[in-house]
Amino acid sequence: MASFALRAIAHDDEGFGPSRAKAREDEVKALIYAPFNASDRFGRAADWMAHVDDERSAHDRDARQGRSDERKEWGDRENVQRERANGERANEAGGRANANARTGRERNAQGERVERVQNGGLGQSGVETVFNFVADIGEDESFSLVDNASSRSGGRGRSGGRWMNAPPGGRGFGRGGRAVGDEAGRDLGVGAERERMRQARIQSRKQQQWNTWAYNRQQQQVQYSASVDIRPDWEVVETVQFPEIMKSVVTLAEPAPQDLVTHGSLSWFDKSYDRVTPKSEVTLRRRADEPTQNLTASDDPVMRKLASEGAGNVFATDSVLVTVMCAARSNYSWDIVIRKKDGKIFLDKRADGNFDQLTVSETAQEAITDDPEDINGVPQLSAESTRVNSAFCQQVLSSDREAHKLGEPIPFFGANDTDSVAYRYRRWNVDEKTQLIARCELNGVSESKGLEKGKPLLTLVKALNEFDSKITGIDWRLKIETQRGAVIANELKNNANKLAKWTAMAMLSGAEQIKLGFVSRLHPRDPNSHVVLNTQTYKTTDFAQQINLKETSMWGAFKMILETCRKFPDGTFLCVKDPSKGLLRFYKFEEKAPSMF
């Protein structure tokens, strides 16, 4: 059987590792470790047979030294030949002399570096170590440069153009302007990584801002038409900017209004609609009759009687009043008629206008088309929303229970006017020279809960309608039960002006609650069939705080418009909201038919 003999392995009684007894004889070997730098490459961790093969190691070192001398002589001859060749090429090609000379110097420098390494075998620390690199000249000579032209980008792409191939970290190619590939000089600490991430986030935000700006610029701008055709002979007598209205703030000395006259009776709200969900949706019935006509202030006999008695000097309905108070939130065009005579001012709506039409997605980020033929256009949606709101109010107010009577019957209602409506004629002392009388509307009562269970609460009932969830942004059928806050927040974004006006109407009329019904189309392409998905109840004061509607801002906007009207002489004027700007223009014009005022 073949035998296998183990080689002698050093043993050290003083500690772990090879014996140091023989190493103490030599001063160089007395060093416990060999110095090295972080960039050096380790070849071995420990030599357990250093003193056993001492003689063979010495012989190997002599052989390596001989080969190093030969390589040195060979490198010197090569350097001389390169310099001679470079000089000849420089004479032949005068235009490339500087480049060749630079190349020669670089190669000479490389030869010197190789010579230093081969001759002294010194590392970066200046001490001979076993970790030093020995250059292979043969391998270096086999390398040939194929292309020295600088690479260029192939054009500007969608992802960044000329910065497409730029490294992260901004224009400086990394921190301090160093190249990314220079790992030796690059800061790799935690702080540097955090700084690079911050710079990357800044560049990402800038790119997103650019993309958003470019996207909005490419979008087709919808140009809305004015609510009334402006004639060339109408003279502009005054203009008011929206920023001026928003800055105006007024605190009333007597915020509580005085009730002068109350007419009408109110039906009770059907509590079963508080339990309606998308799974138990209720079909919305279409009205068979026309809704009750909403008379303007100058045509209201009660208003005319109060004006003749000198009860006030400014008269308006709540719908006109809240339009003025919330003017700064509006985007669509609207207009009101201002009639001034003998120190009295009437704020009216035009008889042939669309003032009573409700708006849909007026403040949405994506503008709605103004095409009258489109079922999702502004005119069609306004008419649909008005019908839905009227039908919802009639359906959810029960007629089985005796109506809650607030006052005498409404004098201008006919026998066919059966809607649940009550009017409160209220007076506010805005300042020393302004006594405002407004007709405020209520359309329902509901039972209170808690300690005062059964007590009637004055309620304003309104309906929001969904026409297409892909346009509005949230599908009510999926979110109305689980994410009610998200649904109402989306409506506050898309219909900020309409909700603000409804809330202001509830505040002026003294309604304690607001009932909002969520009505959706049965099919997105069918504007005539609707279903009730849910009903939510809000306290008026809490909802006003939620939408950031303040009474001081409401009265400030009203007083600013009123002071503008007081500058005009007696006559008839028209206030028109510009369809594309936050601006109110006041025109002097003559009416076609004389007013009853």
pLDDT of residue 597: 41
Q: Using DSSP, state whether 341 is helix, strand or coil.
A: strand
Q: Using DSSP, state whether 535 is helix, strand or coil.
A: strand
- Per DSSP, the residues of 392-428 read HHHHHEESSSPPEE-SBPPTT--TT----EEEEEEEE
Q: Using DSSP, state whether 458 is helix, strand or coil.
A: strand
Answer yes or no: pTM beyond 0.85. Answer: no
Classify burial at 215, counting beta carbons within 10 Å of its beta carbon; exposed 0-12, middle 13-18, buried 19 or more: exposed
pLDDT tens digits, the chain, 597 residues: what are they? 566 666 666 666 666 666 655 555 554 444 445 555 555 555 555 555 555 555 555 555 555 565 556 555 656 666 666 766 665 665 554 544 454 445 555 555 555 554 544 444 444 444 444 445 555 555 555 655 555 555 444 444 444 444 444 444 444 444 444 444 444 445 566 678 888 888 998 888 888 777 766 655 555 567 888 899 988 888 999 999 999 999 999 999 888 999 999 999 999 999 999 999 999 999 999 887 777 778 999 999 999 999 999 999 999 999 999 999 999 999 999 999 999 998 899 999 998 888 999 999 999 988 888 888 999 999 999 999 999 999 999 999 987 888 899 999 999 888 777 788 999 999 999 988 999 999 999 999 998 887 678 788 999 999 999 999 988 889 999 999 899 999 999 999 999 999 999 999 999 999 999 999 999 999 999 999 999 999 999 999 999 999 999 999 999 999 999 999 999 999 999 999 999 889 999 999 776 654 444
Chain mean position to CA 140? 59
Longest dimension (CA), the chain: 137
CA dist., res. 504 & res. 498, Å (int): 10
**What length is written for the chain?**
597
Q: Are 303 and 196 in contact (CB under 8 A)?
A: no
The set of residues, in sequence order, having a beta carbon less than 8 Å from that of 531 and lying 6+ positions away, is: 281, 282, 283, 284, 519, 520, 522
User: Which residue has 């339990």 as its token pair?
Assistant: 275
The set of residues, in sequence order, having a beta carbon less than 8 Å from that of 37 and lying 6+ positions away, is: 123, 124, 125
CA dist., res. 349 & res. 345, Å (int): 13
Residue type, 503: T
pLDDT of residue 223: 80
Torsion of CA 466, 471, 475, 480, to 10 degrees: -50
* Bridge partner residues of 446 (DSSP): 457
> Burial code of 518-535, b = ≥16 C-beta within 10 A, e = fewer?
bbbbeeeeebeebbbbbb
* Bridge partner residues of 423 (DSSP): 263, 441
CA 375 vs CA 287, 385, 475: distances in Å = 20, 12, 19
Q: Quick one: tokens of 22?
A: 């023989």
Residue type, 268: W
Instruction: Using alpha carbons, select from 335, 339, 332 the residue that is nearest to residue 352.
Output: 335
CA dist., res. 544 & res. 553, Å (int): 12
Q: Quick one: tokens of 50?
A: 């250093």
Classify burial at 543, counting beta carbons within 10 Å of its beta carbon; exposed 0-12, middle 13-18, buried 19 or more: buried
Residue type, 514: I
Q: Quick one: tokens of 67?
A: 């080969």
Q: Quick one: tokens of 144?
A: 């040939």
CA dist., res. 335 & res. 584, Å (int): 9
